Amino acid sequence: MLTPRQALLLGKVVDGFAATGQPVGSKTLAADPDVTAGPSTIRNELSALEENGLLAHPHTSAGRIPTDAGYRYYVDQLMPEAPREALGMSLVRRQVDEAMKVTTETLSQVTNLLALVTAPPIGTTTIRHIEVLLLQPQVLMVVVITSTGGVSKKVFTFDRPVDAGLADWAGEYLNDRLVSMGLGARMLGSRLNDASLPATERAFITELAPAFLELVDTADDSLYVDGAHRLVSEYRFQDVSQLNALMEMLERRVSMLGVLSTALGSRNAYVRIGMENPEPALQGLSLVAANYGLPQRNLGTVSVIGPTRMDYSRAIRSVREAAHELSRFVEELY
């Protein structure tokens, strides 16, 4: 445990380094009206914080910067509890895809960090309604609406005119057979391959099957990302290889989804600082995440990634508010 003076100085160094990106020295701290100790006392306290592994002394600079452990102590012990950040998102009644995009874009704008949102996993999504629409004599569109508000559309072009009665029948049949089924359910394929149907109807349903099976293939890989340009421009990476590693990880969506899935079991804000991150691409950065979903079930994660000198208080407030807004949204849909 730190003394009150040490805790105050650690917090001032974290805030000062986050604001300027420059090491914070004893003269700067002595000029702060909240700090009543003189420069020599401040230097002794900074040395003690450095010995405890909470601050580092870079190069020949007279100032200090926080270590990963210093940031961790700040987040766990010193950061003041603040009201939720008002992000101004209008999510109610939008499709989930649009809601995820709005959340990601807004969160990145508010924090100037890289923002990521994961969509609800396939196991939580069921089919709510199906429309089979004859657009032209040989062009038909299948619309699938899911329990999370997602809307999928697939257009089929046939080499012959489609019988309007057959299209109407297909809509009724598919709603009767598939509504309330989970997208990941094993029975989905078998219900689209009903041997009891007459040959014409069975062949027609088989041709429409990709509208559902392709939705299954892509539904589990939804990761929304925004703000890479802000992260690069706001915090100039001294280590270009670190930036490249992060960009490669974002391209390998599976790797990033795996990292974010570890946050799903957390009740509070999930914060991993620097070397606390298991992925090498994130070990020079910090990850702040919060979950959204239903009262008894987390469905996805809202997160930001940035340098270890990020404004943790603002980042945590922002992801919490974004998660809160998304939770309200999906509760209405469910």
In single-letter form, the type of residue at position 215 comes to L
The residue-averaged pLDDT of 213-238 equals 67
pLDDT in tens, 264-315: 888 889 999 999 998 988 998 999 999 998 887 888 899 999 989 899 999 9
pTM of this prediction exceeds 0.75: no
User: Does 230 or 66 have the greater pLDDT score?
Assistant: 66
CATH 3.30.390.60 in the chain is located at 123-219
In whole angstroms, what is the distance from residue 208 CA to residue 174 CA? 10
Residue 138's pLDDT band (cuts 50, 70, 90): very high
Tokens representing 1 are 């445990």
Nearest to 2 by CA among 65, 39, 55, 38: 55
- Class in CATH terms, 96-119+222-333: alpha beta
What pLDDT, on the 0 to 100 scale, is given for residue 182?
A: 72
- Class in CATH terms, 4-78: mainly alpha
Nearest to 10 by CA among 59, 47, 60: 47
Distances (CA, A) of 117 to 12, 82, 101: 31, 23, 8
Residue 45's pLDDT band (cuts 50, 70, 90): very high
In whole angstroms, what is the distance from residue 227 CA to residue 147 CA? 29
pLDDT in tens, 75-89: 999 987 666 555 655
Phi then psi for 197, rounded to 5 degrees? -75, 150
The residue-averaged pLDDT of 7-29 equals 92
**For the domain bounded by 123-219, which CATH number is listed?**
3.30.390.60
CATH 3.30.450.40 in the chain is located at 96-119+222-333
Nearest to 132 by CA among 164, 179, 95: 164
What pLDDT, on the 0 to 100 scale, is given for residue 93?
A: 43
Lowest mean pLDDT among 94-108, 200-214, 231-245, 304-318: 231-245
pLDDT in tens, 92-122: 444 667 788 889 999 999 998 999 998 876 5
Distances (CA, A) of 14 to 11, 72, 277: 5, 11, 20
DSSP type of residue 65: E
Percent of the chain with pLDDT over 70: 84
